[in-house]
């Protein structure tokens, strides 16, 4: 008997053993059959191809039936019987009928009748015959489902069964996890063994601190206020002997970078007492009550080392205004701080200093007399303060003989002490990069330009048209600044891209200004409109670029402030609208909007008139910017008069005049290396 190829199907998947083609096994016998029956080679080729197709997909019942028909028509019924009874080969009703025919031809009529009856029973009940390798219904008789001819079954589970099996385990696990989490949180909140909410020793060793009042420059008034604190800490009896009481808390307010923290450190350094430093954000954490507890522990540490200074930076983080809608735990830290402040006695020798940039956001209970009852405002330094700050920071810098701090101070109005320190440092770094023997005025000017106008973008690629348009735009601003009454004096104009701008015209007041007149406000509007009108004059209204967006935004802000805050509108009158804008009637608000628009349109017309009259000066200045790239006020004044200047022509950026120039661009070394 010929060896059969076997294919097994298990519960977990299909595994296959190599099938030896039936026709390859019977060809030795076929030679005899061919000789006897004179079969043609075409029949052999046909049977081989059909067998290959049937073996390629054993589940294809149509291919199996077609192969069975060819075998029967060529008188090979025994091969049909062998293949049909091989496990793993699909069988349909048609395949079963062909199998019955093969049984009859080889003389197994009894088995053929049994199979026929089983087939009729199955067709009668379901109309379908199952795969003899996978059927789970009534097995075929005579060997099927026996030890040697097992029926292989694949159990297919429903989605509901799979889900129920997983849920049976997931639900208990979820409940256990939830319970364990709640239990852990309870232990964490009620047992200190799981967490440490103790405030570490926040004292600063003042003996190691070299900060003194002489290091604090530019805020003489604020320093004088804190000198009283130092005197109290050094000799409390001097104040208590006459019945005087020193403030319990001192609040330092002012813009960022003015030296509030430095003042507090200098106070502790001068007094020589322990200095406790904490930030407002260090008190509160995830757990309720931690902030209040840390407040208590901080003051306990300070009392143990009395006399002492407690400094809380960014006080608004814990001392913000309370809201009735806030949860109770959100107020606990502030409430505890209020209690500690009220619990002081003047003989304890403890001073608390708070610092904030937003004093208006503090709770009124915190700033009332008896708590933070003394407010020291640390303003931006004036010109005298800036000179003192610059001299202090230049002490450790090797400066050239031509360096004059007063000139730098006059050109840096509005800069804080921190920004001035940064200016000196950047100038020193720049001089070191250039291998200069000392830091001269050119290095300080470079640092000042970088801080005021942004870093220069000398490697930026721009088009020739954009460069020309930028030159006329900045020249328009500069001409309006020169010829508008009340305008702030020019400082510099450049078409070298800096920061986010393609060009900048910078104005600096000769002295510190704390207010503006209506004429100065109108001049500022005219200067803002100068760039847009200059573009319009050379390119036409349809070709004005979006580069004027920031100018229009600045002009609109000034015009709105004139109408709603400064009382400079004749139609609106001396009315302050900006604070409660929504409370005013629609008519008043519409009138204010109309006034703002009228101010801007009038400014645009004035700028157009001035630039039309000064068209020659505008052209000269634009050409000068194209040649020299950056011009000072003195250089611009010479150029508009047609006078030559002693300066080297420069072009830092790569300028593209046509598309062909793009191909010739070289890749920077850094980009090439990357």
Say which residues have a Cβ less than 8 Å from residue 288's Cβ, sequence separation at least 6: 189, 329, 332
Residue with tokens 């005087």: 244
State how beta strands 654-656 and 630-632 pair. Answer: unpaired
Handedness of CA 374, 375, 381, 382 (dihedral sign): negative
Known catalytic residue: 474? yes
According to DSSP H, which parts of 257-373 are helical?
260-271, 290-304, 316-319, 328-342, 364-367
> Which residue, 290, 285, 360, is CA-closest to 319?
360
Catalytic residue among 474, 535, 604, 629: 474
Tokens at residue 510, please?
């000769």
Cα–Cα–Cα angle for 448, 450, 455, rounded to 5 degrees: 175
CB 551 within 8 A of CB 534: no
List, in sequence order, every residue forming a beta bridge with 252; answer none if it has no partner.
355, 376
CA torsion, ordered 337, 343, 345, 349, to nearest 10 deg: -40
Beta pairing, strands 490-494 & 630-632: antiparallel
Burial of residue 222, with CB atoms counted within 10 A of its CB: 0-12 exposed, 13-18 middle, 19 or more buried: buried
- Rounded CA gap, 375 and 82, in Å? 106
DSSP 618-661: HHHHHHHHHHHSEEEHHHHHHHHTT----------SEEE-STHH
Outline where DSSP puts E strands in 468-527.
490-494, 504-507
Q: Which of 563, 545, 559 is nearest to 604 (CA)?
A: 559
Catalytically active residues are: 474
């Amino acid at each position: 008997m010929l060896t059969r190829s076997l294919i097994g199907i298990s519960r977990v998947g299909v595994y296959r053993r190599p099938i030896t083609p039936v026709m390859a096994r019977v060809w030795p016998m076929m030679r005899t059959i061919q000789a006897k029956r004179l079969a043609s080679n075409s029949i052999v080729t046909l049977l081989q191809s059909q067998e290959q197709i049937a073996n390629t997909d054993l589940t294809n019942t149509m291919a199996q039936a077609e192969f069975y028909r060819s075998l029967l028509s060529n008188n090979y019924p025994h091969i049909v019987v062998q293949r049909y009874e091989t496990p793993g080969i699909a069988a349909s009703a048609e395949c079963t009928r062909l199998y019955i025919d093969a049984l009859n031809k080889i003389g197994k009529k009894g088995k053929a009748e049994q199979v026929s009856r089983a087939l009729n029973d199955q067709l009668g009940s379901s109309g379908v015959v199952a795969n003899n390798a996978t059927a789970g219904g009534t097995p075929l008789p005579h060997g099927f489902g026996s030890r040697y001819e097992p029926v292989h079954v694949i159990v297919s589970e429903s989605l509901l069964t799979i889900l129920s099996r997983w849920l049976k385990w997931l639900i208990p696990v979820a409940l256990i996890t939830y319970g364990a989490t709640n239990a852990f949180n309870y232990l964490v909140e009620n047992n200190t063994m799981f967490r440490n909410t103790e405030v570490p020793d926040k004292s600063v060793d003042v003996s190691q601190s070299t900060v003194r009042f002489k290091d604090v420059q530019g805020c003489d008034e604020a320093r004088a206020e804190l000198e009283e604190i130092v005197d109290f800490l050094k000799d409390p009896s001097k104040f208590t002997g006459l019945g005087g009481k020193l403030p319990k808390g001192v609040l330092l307010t002012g813009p960022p970078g003015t030296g509030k923290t430095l003042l507090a450190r200098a106070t502790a350094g001068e007094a020589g007492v322990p200095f406790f430093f904490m930030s407002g954000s260090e008190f509160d954490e995830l757990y309720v009550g931690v902030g209040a507890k840390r407040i208590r522990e901080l003051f306990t540490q300070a009392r143990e080392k009395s006399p002492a200074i407690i400094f809380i930076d960014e006080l608004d983080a814990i001392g913000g205004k309370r809201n009735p809608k806030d949860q109770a735990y959100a107020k606990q830290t502030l409430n505890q701080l209020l209690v500690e402040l009220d619990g002081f006695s003047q003989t304890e020798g403890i001073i608390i200093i708070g610092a904030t940039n937003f004093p208006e956001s503090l709770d009124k209970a915190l700033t009332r007399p008896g708590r933070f009852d003394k407010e020291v405002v640390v303003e931006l330094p004036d010109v005298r303060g800036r000179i003192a700050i610059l001299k202090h920071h230049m002490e450790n810098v090797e400066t050239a003989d031509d360096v004059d701090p007063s000139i730098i101070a006059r050109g840096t109005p509005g800069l804080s002490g921190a920004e001035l320190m940064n200016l000196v440092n950047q100038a020193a770094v720049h001089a070191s990069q250039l291998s200069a023997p000392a830091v001269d005025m050119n290095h300080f000017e470079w640092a000042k330009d970088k801080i005021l106008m942004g870093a220069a973008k000398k490697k930026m690629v721009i088009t020739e048209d954009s460069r020309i348009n930028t030159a006329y735009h900045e020249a328009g601003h500069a001409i309006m600044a020169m010829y508008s009454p009340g305008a702030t004096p020019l400082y510099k104009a450049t078409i070298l891209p800096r920061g986010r701008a393609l060009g900048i015209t910078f104005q600096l007041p000769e002295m510190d200004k704390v207010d503006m007149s209506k004429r100065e406000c109108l001049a500022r509007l005219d200067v803002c409109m100068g760039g847009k009108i200059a573009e319009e004059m050379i390119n036409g209204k349809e070709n004005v670029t979006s580069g004027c967006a920031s100018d229009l935004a600045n002009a609109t802000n000034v015009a709105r402030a004139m109408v709603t805050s400064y009382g400079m509108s004749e139609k609106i009158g001396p009315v302050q609208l900006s604070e409660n804008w929504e409370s005013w009637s629609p008519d008043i608000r519409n009138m204010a909007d109309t006034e703002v628009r009228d101010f801007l349109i009038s400014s645009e017309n004035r700028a157009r008139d001035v630039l039309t009259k000064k068209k020659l000066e505008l052209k000269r200045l634009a050409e000068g910017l194209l040649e020299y790239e950056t011009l000072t006020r003195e250089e611009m004044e010479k150029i508009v008069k047609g006078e030559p200047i002693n300066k080297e022509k420069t072009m830092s950026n790569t300028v593209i005049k046509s598309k062909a120039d793009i191909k010739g661009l070289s890749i920077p070394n850094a980009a090439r290396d990357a």
